[in-house]
Amino acid sequence: MAKLVAAVATPHAPMLPQQVLEKPGQLRAEALMGQVRKQLEAAAPDVIITVASDHFTSFFFDNLPQFCVGTFEAAAGPTESYCRMPRRVVRGVPDLARGFLKYSLESNFDLAFTEEMGLDHSVLVPLHFLVHDTNIPVVPININALAPPLPSSRRAFNLGRALGRFIERWPGQQRVALLASGSISLEVGGPRVGITDHRWVNTVSKLLEQGNYASIVRRATEQRMLAAGNVSGEFLCWITMCGALGESRPVFVEPDEGSAFVAWRLED
């Protein structure tokens, strides 16, 4: 059977790779990415399942699924010209992705799927810092975290629970890691640009430290998340991942501005 060996969560600021290139060793975010990378590398995963939001690169308002899994053989990015980082070709795991698609349908989740996907910074910025081995394949799960109405936190968490059960039952021998990407408090554009809801970030960080995912689900209503910033629904990606973790608590949680850097080790 496959085995879930690690989980990590980070923000995905699209300018971070260029900022680090210009100021190597000077940014706290770079150091925290390195801290997360050490935990992920120590777990030695064979495949990474990412949970992230698409920024209108593969989907738009004319076709915007709440949940979607990428069943591709390979995908490339970043698709955005403003995200200045090395282009990366990512291998998929079609049999694993289709296996989860089938299992999700049996678990009453009607996921969309796509065999063609352009990867944006929500997936590739974390991979750039955390996964230097470009041969490790990736299965992306996209959550609509940007365009209300958003899926409920309960629905996202239960999808994560289904994902955890699927990994335990998958007949392959893969060591699987989960990577959730996104912010906890972030406003893009408009008169509130630059605001950070530190109270919400601190509350969520403490609940993550405690492994109190049920309380996170209760508190993370769409209204509460969007009060922390117009794209703060990205926290749904973290909640989805938490659903797969059972009662496991992270080895560290480091808040940073409107997000945090978190890692779980899921082996003794």
Query: Residue 110 belongs to a domain with what CATH number?
Result: 3.40.830.10
Q: Which domain range does residue 193 map to?
A: 3-265
User: pLDDT at position 235, please?
Assistant: 98
Distance CA 123, CA 137 (A): 13
Question: Which residues, 6 or more positions from 108, have their beta carbon under 8 angstroms from its beta carbon?
Answer: none
CB 245 within 8 A of CB 266: yes
- φ, ψ at 229 (rounded to 5°): 145, 150
Predicted model pTM: 0.96
Q: What domain count does the chain have?
A: 1
Positions in the chain whose pLDDT score sits under 50: none
Residue pair 150/222 in contact (Cβ under 8 Å)? The answer is yes
pLDDT of residue 268: 66
